[in-house]
Structure 1
């Protein structure tokens, strides 16, 4: 029953859940469908989440995108199009540092699938150290006990970790990953602290959005009780995108109409702002907006999430 008459600004939404006792995994279904549809998109995907640990979702996004790009390349060759004509999908990821050290490995795996793992430099160092130890064992006397790789390290080692060129040329994507910081003047000095993100928002191409309680991890997709809304609503999605991006940039930009030139400049400005804010912190200056490169020096061989 409607409590009032429908208005032109209303949105039609689907309520989706994760409820294991009722075997309801409709949030997972929507996220997978969003990945499939995003692979067909030629504008942007914006992911903002408390946990970014769902490697399977990242794999699906790139797999579907690669299929689309193969079809595009086949058609482009027949038309005589060049690589510069290829439409790029810009993927913006905004997440906090993993809440617990034990959440770092799964966050690393998800980011590594998208070639975004370098910010977790503590885990990078641990993986290299563990691999070096195992390699050194090959030259040790046979009577010494062989130490196997921890499962988390062995799994991370198998991830392909595409570089920037591969992401662009094979998958047709450009990706940046950010965390959020705030700053304030205390005792005559600029101080900085991380903004812990608790929101769970996914926007695709100014058309689709989902918002709710579900984290981007295995537990929220199949194990916990979660509730999201999803909608195909260009007006709502575009409005959310402009509000959120304007807020993150300190009002500097909002993506405008998300035309090809708009996204090219927005992606450039986004990554430049992240780097500049990192430099501002080193020089004890005021940040502009809240975007920072994701960085975490911690590491773990235990996997949660």
Structure 2
């Protein structure tokens, strides 16, 4: 269901100064209405640390877990105990300390480790979805480990032995080197199939489509909470990073990084099967301070309601609901940041279809309404044309208000610069929704082949003013096309309003859409950097980061968690780090209107130049930004399309 901005925005009531007849106001960036309910608290004085890629984040996570004295709470979309969490060295697995070893070490010295993973258990309708998403490599034993000469024998054997120990608490033996660990607790959860969840999603989806989203819904969160019972030492993480080898990379995004691992260690790059695992981009936020209260609330409620049949240790604070009760005694006033607070306001947001929580989507709607200078969106799935419609609608209202109420001429109103960084859709079935969203921003030509098909359908579709001869001609040309099930997605896209770059210019919205590539140091060969990030920055005063993609699934259905904050100095530093990492010197400078305007123009120039390097396979890339494009046309597998009303789990997001 689309958020109602009238219920999100706080009405402005500010006193006017008698001396100058002016009022001092601040723009609303967080969900203040939600704060009033007692959940999603907007808290002051938190300390945040920002990490680019797993190579920066996971060693910090390792250090914090190693220091734990009471508890380690993890929610994972997927957990691979064989993933190296520490700083990596060498080219052969293991290249550092394995995540599974780390958890066993702290558990064996008395720290309670709770691992909560999404998994549709054996016999569940979407059991296959978990396997396709590789969310629990090695468990259950989906493929037997027999060939000791196979290069992946050691890593597979480790995974299966670790999971056998975690799930069954087997005693140590020659075939199982792990020691029984009573402090390691594992639970799993899958979304229940309940009728009330049919309220999720956009209004134009059919009930079957909504149910399809629900039935392949996942718990997609990835937060960590450490030592909440010791407030002065407590720390947490909110991130998009999965605890799987696939998602490990460095900010350099080297063409073929030995530290990332071989193709057989994770999901091989289909476009580059002879190379190692593909480059991945993502972020993490380390949190100290009062924001941990909502991270704890999120974890304890989920833990108490999760399936317990995977947990071989029954003495975990007794009956259901007990972890929530146990944590109630923690003195929240002592949750002070050990380092100087550096973010003025922080809020934890979620998507939870069971309770109807769609605060992440509400936040995206709010910020899209409030931004006046720039929006930066870096997201794995840019598939939400309702958001694109909102952007244009709110901009139109802004222009009308400035013209009618402030007397501003259209040419004097500063443009809104929109930077969008996304990957090529990883599955054919994701092409239509991606196309619809970028086409709604006047950029449909960047998916040229699909766009040409959409235009052809528009030309073949009978119009209200067509004469008989024109109707007959269109009919003859459309035979075998308009009724082809393979082209249903294009037909649907053709029904949507046409938006051009000129339309966007009239609204004063300057849009660029980029993807990221890296290049071999020795040759002209290039390779895509897969974007797994879920980051939004606005006007150098707001950010949100977490597990939620900009698609219907993350905004309405899957279990998600994000952190949002406001602080100009901290967010400007974040923006400059991100932009300089992917665009070199084009980091936006001081963030002024002029600097952002010039940066936007220069990004487009650099992206176009880099696109020629990728296409022609000559020359050198200048940083990583490349003009977004996708050369696929017909959706060859319509059964996995987001519009398809059959129940296929391939659309599960990672």
SS of residue in 2 equivalent to 1:185: coil
Equivalents in 2 of 1:91, 1:37: separation in Å?
13
Describe the superposition over 1:204-232 as per-residue Cα deviations: whole angstroms up to 9, x where unpaired: 10111110000000000111111111112
Is the contact made by 2:450 and 2:633 (CA closer than 8 Å) also made in structure 1? Answer: yes
Indicate how the Cα distance of structure 1 residues 145 and 241 shifts in structure 2: closer, same or farther if over 3 A, else same.
closer
Match of 2:627 in 1: 293
Q: Deviations over 1:165-217 (max 9, x none)?
A: 32122x2111100000000134xx21100000001000110111110000000
Moved more, 132-141 or 202-211: 132-141
The CA RMSD over aligned residues, in Å, is 2.4
Q: Distance in 1 between matches of 2:593 and 2:363?
A: 27
Give the Cα–Cα distance (whole angstroms) in 2 for the partners of residues 176 and 212 of structure 1: 23
Alignment partner, residue 441 of structure 2: 114
Q: Aligned residue for 2:390?
A: 60
Q: Which residue of 1 aligns with 2:378?
A: 48
Partner of 1:183: 519
Matched ranges for 1:208-287 at <5 A: 208-250=542-584, 252-281=585-614, 282=616, 284-287=618-621
Q: How many Å separate the matches in 2 of 1:131 and 1:84?
A: 34
Structure 1 distance, partners of 2:375, 2:491, is 30
Change in Cα spacing, 1:27 to 1:300, as seen in structure 2 (3 Å) is: farther
Alpha-carbon distance, 1:27 to partner:
0.8
Find the residue that maps to 1:289 and give its secondary structure.
coil
Residue 530 of structure 2 is aligned to residue 196 of structure 1: yes
Which has more helix, going by share of residues? Answer: 1
2:540 counterpart residue number? 206
TM-score in terms of structure 2 length: 0.42
- 1:13 corresponds, among 346, 351, 367, to 346
Q: What residue is the counterpart of 1:159 in the other structure?
A: 496
Contact 1:114 1:162 in 2 (8 A): yes
Runs (5+) with no aligned partner, structure 2: 1-331, 463-469, 643-650
Once residues 456 and 337 of structure 2 are traced to their aligned partners in structure 1, the CA distance between those partners, rounded to angstroms, is 63
SS in 2 for 1:45: strand
3-state SS of 1:190 partner = coil
Contact 2:442 2:503 in 1 (8 A): no
Deviation of 1:158 after TM superposition, in Å, equals: 3.2
Matched, 1:28 2:28: no
Distance (Å, rounded) in 1 between the aligned partners of 2:482 and 2:438: 27
Find the aligned partners of 1:100 and 1:269 in 2 and give their Cα distance: 31
Q: Which has the larger radius of gyration?
A: 2
Check the 8 A contact 1:210/1:228 in 2, yes or no.
Answer: yes
1:159 CA displacement? 2.9
Offset at 1:283? 5.5
Alignment correspondent of 2:302: none
Distance 1:33 1:137 in 2: 45
In 1, distance between residues paired with 2:512 and 2:540? 19
Q: Report the Cα offset of residue 3 of structure 1.
A: 5.5
CA deviations on 1:25-53 (whole Å, 9 max, x unpaired) are 11111111111112xx1x11000000000
144-153 or 204-213: bigger deviation: 144-153
| Cα-to-partner distance string for 1:118-145 (whole Å, 9 max, x where unaligned) | 111121122234445656983357xx88
Count of residue pairs the alignment pairs up: 293
Does 1:74 pair with 2:404? yes
Quote the Cα distance in structure 2 between the aligned partners of 1:159 and 1:257. 39
Measured in 2, the distance between the counterparts of 1:217 and 1:98 equals 12
Distance 1:74 1:12 in 2: 34
Contact 2:455 2:494 in 1 (8 A): no
Q: Residues 526 and 617 of structure 2 are in contact (CA less than 8 Å); yes or no, is this contact kept in structure 1?
A: no
**Native 8 Å contact 2:450 2:490 kept in 1:** no
Given that residues 184 and 286 in structure 1 are in contact (C-alpha distance below 8 angstroms), is that contact kept between their aligned partners in structure 2? no
In 2, the alpha carbon distance for the partners of 1:146 and 1:291 equals 37
- Unaligned regions of 5+ residues in structure 1, if any? none
